[in-house]
Structure 1
């Protein structure tokens, strides 16, 4: 029983890493209607900014705040000078552009800082706490707490604020939103900027656990996309719960399902995706979209 509980706790910790990136993907989609595959690369760039600033003597918290501000500016500029040229065209084209942007950012980071692993300072202590035979690191607890707060803030933004409602209106129908007097261009920039800031927070939480490299979030991005599909693109709470489910199930399957083991546990989220898409295509917590034809 103790082993089972330990696997569940470890799965929650791993799922929190996936959830951090999944929330940023949901934020971009809720604000623009697009899936941003470059989210991981933008987050890694923010992590490198924090690493560079701390190596030059800036305190970690101050470096994180500076990186968040820079991320907001970078996200807004990406939307204004790159994505806006494709947003009114075929959505598939815009998605391909984000994949190209991911490749560009990863290559730029590798060229500038090399592909060597870099030690990233942890925002939380490295101590562990034990309860009923289960050991949990303080860093994992802190990461989970930050993700829960971000999830609640994001849910509150889109449900209970005028800015969130305006962002959703622009994402659903930018033409109608413009006719209603909403500043569509500025709102799109705000959406991308907020998502980039959330991605920066995710990278800062993840980097100490994975070590900092240009491709640090490549695997996490796959799991994050799985969490987005399972939880639903319209539900920040849903994607966090889905990320936790993925983290827990892949840990349990690796130990208790012999033919899966640790080598094939990466298949667990994809199996879940197939099942959910067949039974509930909008995701476990997503809303059905009604389209008038």
Structure 2
């Protein structure tokens, strides 16, 4: 007996589509939880101190958060290509910032040109460091590479102290800093420095996200991070890919240092605290997510600004404790982060 058919075949969803949908649901759920917690605390904050004070602290938190996200972006770039956290990233950014400072102060270069020069030199130096110190090790030996980055952190701090000393120095800013250089929003002040920094960071994130998602270099990053031997079989040059990630991360880190230095004093340790916040931001957003670095940085900056602002008992030093708590909580409950990719291993 013939079995009637409708003339249409039922399409079976592909594994990739199912994983992508699951990833989107997971990211939406995570972002929803974070947004809900911030919303609940915001209600308390507005009732406690009024909307103007709340808005001012939100603007301050977002301004700090984009800087954390920028440094986290440098961490993500190396992790995407190697699967390793570069603990020397803050020290490399610090040296690059000193190079830009020297170019501006000693050689009288315009600040924009000095920052670009610092980015180029630091990228070239990072490429050389990768070739001399990192490449001799097996790319799959993450422990050895991590120990090398820790040693590099100590060496760069000592080198900066030897060359520039420990005296704090003021770093010029790219944006206007006069007493009237701000925009009033609901009674709160948004300074041009914060606005310009945020727009510049967003532009960098968009460019990198598009470049690494639509170019062969971005594909090579993902392949090498997923597996060294399969990448070699596909014809990917492992050394050049890792070297490119180090150079790109050093340039981005230098730009982040030059944006952060005007808010504090420039000395050999000025990036250490920012790096801790950047670790929290990268972990929260996802260590392999470009956009996640910025999202994580903003969430970390907002959390620290609101918690320390409205709970005086916590004190100003609670920021580091908050960053540590974020790292532990994310690794415990959502290791891939808000926007990161979950890895699957055959066992």
User: 1:158, 1:168 within 8 Å by CA — same for their partners in 2?
Assistant: no
Provide TM-score, normalisation by structure 1: 0.96
Structure-2 residue corresponding to 1:75: 126
Structure-2 residue corresponding to 1:4: 54
Structure-2 residue corresponding to 1:239: 293
Structure-1 residue corresponding to 2:176: 125
Change (3 A) 1:87 1:9: farther
**24, 27, 31: which is aligned to 2:74?**
24
SS in 2 for 1:34: coil
Change (3 A) 1:171 1:101: same
Change (3 A) 1:167 1:276: closer
Structure-2 residue corresponding to 1:281: 335
Q: Does 1:49 align with 2:103?
A: no
Structure-2 residue corresponding to 1:228: 282
User: 1:67, 1:200 within 8 Å by CA — same for their partners in 2?
Assistant: yes
SS in 2 for 1:200: helix
Q: Does 1:108 align with 2:108?
A: no
User: 1:44, 1:216 within 8 Å by CA — same for their partners in 2?
Assistant: yes
Provide TM-score, normalisation by structure 2: 0.81
Shift, 1:217, TM fit: 0.3
Q: Which runs of 5+ in 1 are unaligned?
A: none
User: 2:220, 2:241 within 8 Å by CA — same for their partners in 1?
Assistant: yes
Shift, 1:187, TM fit: 1.6
Alignment of 1:171-250 (within 5 A): 171-250=225-304
Shift, 1:264, TM fit: 2.3
State the alpha-carbon separation in 1 of the partners of residues 303 and 157 from structure 2: 30
- 192-201 vs 249-258, which deviates more? 249-258
Shift, 1:263, TM fit: 3.6
Change (3 A) 1:263 1:65: closer
Shift, 1:258, TM fit: 4.2
Shift, 1:186, TM fit: 1.4
Instruction: Give the aligned length.
Output: 293
CA RMSD of aligned residues (A): 1.4
User: 1:14, 1:247 within 8 Å by CA — same for their partners in 2?
Assistant: yes
- 86-95 vs 216-225, which deviates more? 86-95
Shift, 1:23, TM fit: 0.2
Structure-1 residue corresponding to 2:114: 63
Q: Does 1:154 align with 2:205?
A: no
Q: Which runs of 5+ in 2 are unaligned?
A: 1-50
